[in-house]
Every structure is written in C-alpha cells, then in structure tokens.
Amino acid sequence: MLPRTIALSCSLALFLSAHAQEQLGIRLSNYGGINSSLLNPAYHTTTPFSWDVNLVEGASHIWNNYAYFRDASLLSLLRGIDEIEVEFGPDFVEGAQPKPGSVAIDFARDDRARGAYVLNSILGPSFYVQIGENHRIGFLSRARIVGSGRNIDTNYSYYDYDRRAFFDDFAVEPFRTAVAGWSEAGVNYAYSGETATGTFGVGISLKVLQAYEGIFFSNLESFRYQKLPNDSIGSTSPANFIFGYTTSNLDTDNLQAARNGGGLAADLGLVLTIDGEEEAPYLWKFGFSLLDLGRLNFSRNAESHTVNIQDPVSIATDAYRSFSSLEEGPDYIRLFSSQTLGDSAASRDGAAFGLWLPAAFSFQADRALGGPFFAGAAYTQGFPMGEAALQRGSLLAIVPRMESRWLEAALPISIYDWQQLRVGLAIRLAFLTVGSSHLGSIFQKSDFRGTDLYVALKVNPFQFGERDKGWSPGRQPKLRGGKKGRIRCYEF
C-alpha cells in the first residue's frame, strides 16, 4: 500500500505542478533582444536594435523519468481535466487498456537514476538601451518557481521497490530534491567592441532576489536501506541527511505571497563573432555564460533540520497514512525525529536555511548559412553549488532557423538530460513569439513524461535608425579602413 500511495502522489504532483527549459527559440535569435540575456548576458550585443523592451514572457517546462501517463498528450489531458479519471498502471493485466474517458499512470522500468525538473517563469517588464557605440544597459524583472530532483536511486522506482523482497537491503547513493519560488530584479550591463576578425561582447547581470517559499531534502552520504513487513522501512548503516522548509503557507486554505528572505545572484557572459561574407552579419558567433550564481536565504518562517542516524533503525509508517494536509507536516516531522533520533525536537537545528539557485554553464554557437538562414547550437549543463541546491539537468540542442525583421521560424532539436530526443517549433510574428521545445508532447499521444511551452510579447524599433548597429539580409555592413579602429558603413 505504501509504495502505491507515494507513487501516485508524486506522479500527480509532478503533472499538476506545470503544464521550457531554456526557450531556445527566443534565446538564440539575433532578434531576441533583452530576452537573449537570460541565456547569456552578453548575447544581445549582436542584436540589431538600439533599444528593446520585453512586455511579458511566460515559460513552463516539466520533465520526469519516474512516472508517465500512458497514451496521452497535453491537449488530451487538458481536454478532460475537470472529469479525468486516473487509473493505476500496475493494476492492469498484460495488454489491458484504460476505460474510456480515463487515463493510466504507469512507471519507468529502466535502470536510470530518477529525476525531475519543473520550471514556471514570468519575465516581466525588462529592457536594454544602447549608450554610445559600445555600451548597453538594461533592467530585468522576473518571477520563478523551480523544482528539481536529481540522482534519486533507481531502487526507489515503483516496480523495483514493489517487487523487492523484505530484508533485502540496498545502497542509497547521495541525492537532492528542492522546490523554491522567488522573484528577482536586476541590472544588465554589456560592452561590445571590434576584434581583428569580428566583434566581441562581455556582459553581466546582477540580481537582487526576494525569497518566498522553499523546501529541500538532501541525502549527504550513501547508506543501506531495507524494505520491511507491515509497511515499515529501515536503515542498516549510518545515514546523514538535511532538510528545510518554509512555514508561511502550510494553511492551504489561506495561501498568500509572503516574503521569507532574500539573496543575490549574478550571470556572466562572453560573445565572439567572426566576419564572413558581406551578405551575412557574421560567419560564426560563439558564446559562453555562467548562469544563476547565487543563493536564496530563507530567514523568516523557516526551519532547518539535520538527521544523523548512527545505529540501525526501523520506522513503522502506518502513522503517516493519515497525513492529509500541509498543516500537519511539522507534527509528522517531529514524529520522524522521535522515531530516528529518540527526541521529537532533536532534528531541528535552526530557524533559517539557504538554497542555491540552479547554476549552470552554457556554450552557444551560431553559423550563418546565407540569406535569412542560420544554424544555432547550445549546450547547457547544470551543477549544484552546495548541499542544498536546485539543480538543472543537461540540454544539448541544434536550432536551425529562418529569421527576418518581421518573421522568424526556429526548429529546435534537443536531447534533455541525455535521455529524451525532442523536436520543437518557435514562431515569431513581429513582436509575438510562441514556441515549444517538445512539440510532440502537446499534440501526439504517447508516454507523456512532461511538456514545454513559452510565449513572449515585446517591442523594439520599427525601423533601424542611424544609431542602430542593425543588419538584416540585404542590409549588411561593409567594412572600410584597417582592422584596428575600423568603421562599419551600412548599405541599404
């Protein structure tokens, strides 16, 4: 009974948490403007505008490799969301199908470590403006909810755990999970100049964070775990883990935004271009960036806990079956502390905790193919900056696109976390962009493990003025003078 309850709860939570990891259809575009700075704070130095304003950008991404909906798509799930009946995949005999109007949740059977990543992001009013020939100054406002789980032992997969014999212990390797909601306001500065072969740009975004809600759990070292009779569990070796959570919204009937702390963060970026034919703005463009270097500090309405188990312990889980609301959470944590440490208050070690942002490094490359055609690529790899941290996965993508001032189409082809090949589509009409990096999840019924959507609305100059270092196919800069101090003269 216990594994079924946990599995179903986790699966529904993952689905209901969101409906794009990097929104490459916007970020890699030469017309991305200030939105491009979220992937590389210097990337907008190659955009053709002297100013650019984002009115609103919304993005939502969900992925997991633990559970999935059988034969489903985002549209099919949303179509019957109010009356949907969920069935449990392991209850089906071989070849059986769900009842009409219902959908089945099932569970992965491969031997990969389990993980999940959920992102909901709103980029509010944001802009940059060019000052002189070399400087761009901007402002960013953003709200984010991010959830991640990394390196969760495959032995916790539903089928593996359900079929495991009692007293057959196994090793649980270190893993971390976390969820946080915060807002950020920041300034962006970028400097661009000439090189012997093209241009360069360097950029930095400094952000002030407001922390709202957060929760994390980190297993710090490997330990031995047992499945016991009567829905009990136990460890047969020392175990050491930490966790923390905010308490301001445990009453789910009275949810409200509460600022529980703050923090600082920074993004750093570099861009280089190599000149090509006169018909193109460049032959190659390369970028490198470090993202989300910072931490949320929850200093109000917060608890931190440490559980250091030295002796073998068994835990009867029947008392946890009556758990029905977040308000009861602190009571069950005290019960857990009593069961593992012999004292209901022993695990609590503070009234504050810190949570590192989902830091990552990213490489970008772009090749002009002639006329309005380009082929971009990006590799982003998340890395944890501490024991308590949100963590991105990896993303490798190739993004062929056609772009012009008023129309753009991109076809991102990506591999997420080295596990799933995705094909997406992004369309820009003037100032409106709509896209997805996982188009099949929206329309095509299959094993539904997650989806991805984003939309952006912005404004920028209708025409390129004399101050704009702009270009487009048929409007390319020609060079005169030497390589040093050369001046770009634009032909129209």
Tell me the average pLDDT of the chain. 86
Which tokens hold the place of 355? 């949570």
Question: What confidence tens digit (pLDDT) does each residue in 446-483 have?
Answer: 888 888 899 999 999 976 554 444 444 333 333 333 33
Question: What confidence tens digit (pLDDT) does each residue in 126-143 have?
Answer: 999 999 999 999 999 999
Determine contact, residues 139/51, Cβ cutoff 8 Å: no
Q: Which of 6-15, 29-38, 267-276, 396-405 has the lowest mean pLDDT?
A: 6-15
Identify the pLDDT of residue 206: 98
Helix runs in 57-205, H state only: 74-79, 158-162
C-alpha span between 315 and 332 (Å, rounded): 13
Which is nearest to 222 in space by CA: 201, 203, 207, 236? 236
Q: Is 107 exposed, middle or buried (0-12, 13-18, 19+ CB in 10 A)?
A: buried
- The answer to whether residue 406 sits within a structural domain is no
Identify the pLDDT of residue 13: 39
Q: Which of 117-131, 330-344, 427-441, 474-488 has the lowest mean pLDDT?
A: 474-488
Which tokens hold the place of 71? 């034969």
Domain range for 188: 2-20+32-357
For the CA atoms of 287, 376, 39, 444, the dihedral, rounded to the nearest 10 degrees, stands at: -160
Identify the pLDDT of residue 5: 41
- The answer to whether residue 456 sits within a structural domain is no
Q: What are phi and psi of 82, to 5 degrees?
A: -75, -25
User: 490: which residues sit within 8 A by CB, 6+ positions away?
Assistant: 470, 471, 475, 476, 477, 478
What sign for the dihedral angle of Cα 368, 370, 371, 377? negative
- The answer to whether residue 454 sits within a structural domain is no
- The answer to whether residue 382 sits within a structural domain is no
C-alpha span between 334 and 345 (Å, rounded): 6
The SS3 call for residue 154 is helix
Residue 34 DSSP symbol: G
- The answer to whether residue 427 sits within a structural domain is no
C-alpha span between 235 and 308 (Å, rounded): 12
Residue 389 DSSP symbol: B
Which tokens hold the place of 176? 């971390």
Q: Which of 115-129, 203-217, 241-255, 364-378 has the lowest mean pLDDT?
A: 241-255
Q: Which of 48-62, 93-107, 222-236 has the lowest mean pLDDT?
A: 93-107
- The answer to whether residue 453 sits within a structural domain is no
C-alpha span between 65 and 237 (Å, rounded): 28
User: 257: which residues sit within 8 A by CB, 6+ positions away?
Assistant: 212
- The answer to whether residue 480 sits within a structural domain is no
Which tokens hold the place of 19? 């409906």
Which amino acid is residue 417, in one-letter code?
A: D
Question: What's the number of domains the chain is made of?
Answer: 1
What number is the average pLDDT over the span 323-331? 81
User: 181: which residues sit within 8 A by CB, 6+ positions away?
Assistant: 143, 144, 145, 212, 213, 214
- The answer to whether residue 98 sits within a structural domain is yes
Beta bridge partners of 161: none
Identify the pLDDT of residue 463: 67
pLDDT(487) > 70: no
Radius of gyration of the chain (CA): 25
CB neighbours of residue 253 within 10 Å: 6
pTM over 0.95: no
